[in-house]
Amino acid sequence: MFQFLSVLCGIAAAIVMVPGIIPLLGWLQWLVLVLVVIGSFFGSFCEKKIGLTINLVVGVVAVLRLFLGGGGF
């Protein structure tokens, strides 16, 4: 069950991240980071770490976008 929730949070975060890459929509990356933290929490309790991996990759891209964009605000 936790694996499913982790993958679901990771996919939802990836979907929200795509429009957040567009200039002036960088504030969406903060929502992505919240979803990534929730997904990583669920993924840390699973035997298979695919959900955790998805969340970490999406989180790194979101943090990089925030860093390059000056915080998104």
Q: pTM to 2 decimals?
A: 0.87
CA torsion sign, 27 to 28 to 32 to 37? positive
Q: How much is the pLDDT for 32?
A: 94
Give the residue with greater pLDDT, 71 vs 13.
13
22-47: pLDDT as tens digits: 888 888 999 999 999 999 999 999 88
As a whole number of angstroms, the distance between CA 10 and CA 22 comes to: 20
- Give me the amino acid identity at 16: V
Phi, psi of 49 (to 5 degrees): -105, 25
43-70: pLDDT as tens digits: 999 889 899 999 999 999 999 998 988 7
